[in-house]
Chains A and B, each alone.
Chain A
């Protein structure tokens, strides 16, 4: 297994995204981080990859892997990318960190034929119970930050995501509920994802 494949194997949403993307397609990853997903897609699926990342460290790591990376703030939008210029535009666990989530969702379906968005689900039962019983801001392995240091400024649930897509006229083509490991109720996750799934993945497009 290549080192970047090992790295994405630690993230169930990235593994799912890796499965979804068709070989030989063109992929833009928004918030590409250290470039592991893109490198894996390029190496194992012959995908043409492009990344956008804000941190200097992320940029350095992407360049070190040979992944073309562009330093930019997602809140500035994707104005320079042409309509439907990518087969896939990926936003993995980043929607909750951008200042203008609506804008970025609209941009994703404008620039990509298909958008793939993964989100940490704030309505997961672990979180509900923590807030209900302890009365403190919840922390889980998916949302691990203390309230005073979190980069998450727009937390949402799987239902919230569906609602915003409906409001923006964005079509949800597919959705998956995923978790890190096989939890006791994993088999029930597809039936009540908003309660049982820590992560949601959505395939979206224009109507």
Chain B
């Protein structure tokens, strides 16, 4: 274990929205009780003013940093950014990360047991949105007794939740760091998500979502993951990583076996994913991503939708990200700027594609560590971020 790791961590669980106080969802349904799995790193200060809430992306979970045990091979999904002396410095800040509503890593989702039937929800689980996910996490933050977060941060779908929080609960956050994200997914993005969903739903094992206790639709889910993975990389990243290198062979097979390394890599990633992810959760969460459109809050105007925001923003995009491209991040920065919000915007040069937010530690760290330092110091001095 590296010296700047948060070390061994434990997932905690928060249960709320018990009857009759069920969570009211955007689709009109209610859901309860709701469990959120979450982890925290660092210490909450006595004024409860150093808390930062991180939101994970589509396939992430509450385990953002450190290890669950000495046997665990890989640390949490954003370990490069969270820990002593890292961007989200656990010596200074109290970091919280929860598995999103609809997830399958400890929070209530389609694989959870429906208290009304005693069986997993499957497709009886209501359609959830980014706003619903954020609402659930708001309950967690209230439960932790934190009135105002120092920051909300996250990439991709996590960035959507950052935007939702900053416009829905502007009084409850000092700063916002949306990374590689957008106010609305492009048609291209929706298209890829739909192909992923169709891959799952056309797997006979999917059985209209009723596969719990039986064989899960692993083929379909693996295929969805393979498609997703392509969209997270860039042409250059794939070229650098694989080129046309062959996998465990010197000549072409002249067959439909796995010839190329890139094929082998995608198969491996697909299979790995089926060991930790629920196919129905994949359907629900990608739908939530597709539905998100911040401008709806402003009756179609992104500028109006951003009007309630009061936090100081740091928006980070990556040059080779074609799934959440720099121009979409810029659109967002512009809409906030017009509202006189204090917004910094930066396109970092990277060849990693959308995945850059999980991989580019150095420059992200420089930006985020300094940004948070100033926000925290301003707070200590009693400054505000009113425009």
B337 touches A70 (CB 8 A): yes
Is there a chain A Cβ closer than 8 Å to B344's Cβ?
yes
* Interface-facing stretch out of B229-237, B268-276, B367-375: B367-375
A70's closest neighbor in chain B, by CB? B345
Return the contact of A68 from the options B338, B344, B367, B373 (Cβ within 8 A). Answer: B344
1/0 per residue, CB under 8 A from B, across A66-83: the answer is: 101111100000001110
Is there a chain A Cβ closer than 8 Å to B312's Cβ?
yes
Q: How many residues of A contact B (CB 8 A)?
A: 17
1/0 per residue, CB under 8 A from A, across B7-46: the answer is: 0000000000000000000000000000000000000000
Is there a chain B Cβ closer than 8 Å to A59's Cβ?
yes
A56 touches B349 (CB 8 A): yes
B314 touches A70 (CB 8 A): no
A50 to B371, CA, bound (A): 15
B337's closest neighbor in chain A, by CB? A80
Is there a chain A Cβ closer than 8 Å to B348's Cβ?
yes
A68 to B338, CA, bound (A): 14
Q: Assess A71 versus B338: contact at CB under 8 Å? Given A63-B367, A64-B366.
A: no
A59 to B348, CA, bound (A): 10
Q: Is the interface of B mostly helix, strand, loop or mixed?
A: helix
Q: Assess A63 versus B314: contact at CB under 8 Å? Given A70-B333, A70-B337.
A: yes
Complex contacts, B330 vs chain A, CB 8 Å? 72
B349's closest neighbor in chain A, by CB? A56
Q: How many residues of B contact A (CB 8 A)?
A: 25
Is there a chain A Cβ closer than 8 Å to B334's Cβ?
yes
- Which residues from 30 to 69 on chain A have a C-beta closer than 8 Å to any C-beta of chain B? 50, 56, 59-60, 62-64, 66, 68-69
- Which residues from 113 to 168 on chain A have a C-beta closer than 8 Å to any C-beta of chain B? none
Closest Cβ of chain B to A67, distance in Å, is 8
A120 to B113, CA, bound (A): 72
A68 touches B312 (CB 8 A): yes
Closest Cβ of chain A to B328, distance in Å, is 14
Complex contacts, B344 vs chain A, CB 8 Å? 59, 62-63, 68-70
A66 touches B338 (CB 8 A): no
A60 to B340, CA, bound (A): 21
Closest Cβ of chain A to B28, distance in Å, is 36
1/0 per residue, CB under 8 A from A, across B255-282: the answer is: 0000000000000000000000000000
Is there a chain A Cβ closer than 8 Å to B311's Cβ?
no
1/0 per residue, CB under 8 A from A, across B120-157: the answer is: 00000000000000000000000000000000000000
Closest Cβ of chain A to B91, distance in Å, is 19
A62 to B366, CA, bound (A): 11
Closest Cβ of chain B to A70, distance in Å, is 5
A59 to B343, CA, bound (A): 12
A5 to B344, CA, bound (A): 22
A70 touches B343 (CB 8 A): yes
Is there a chain A Cβ closer than 8 Å to B190's Cβ?
no
B317's closest neighbor in chain A, by CB? A71
List the 3 shortest-distance A-B pairs measured between CB atoms, nearest first. Answer: A66-B374, A80-B334, A64-B370
> Known pairs A56-B346, A60-B367. 4 more at Cβ < 8 A?
A60-B363, A63-B371, A69-B345, A70-B343
23 chain-A/chain-B pairs, Cβ below 8 angstroms: A50-B342, A59-B367, A60-B363, A63-B314, A63-B344, A63-B366, A63-B367, A63-B370, A66-B370, A66-B378, A68-B312, A68-B342, A68-B343, A69-B346, A70-B333, A70-B337, A70-B343, A71-B347, A72-B330, A72-B345, A81-B337, A81-B338, A85-B340
Binding site for A on B (CB under 8 A): 312, 314, 330, 333-334, 337-338, 340, 342-349, 363, 366-367, 370-371, 373-374, 377-378
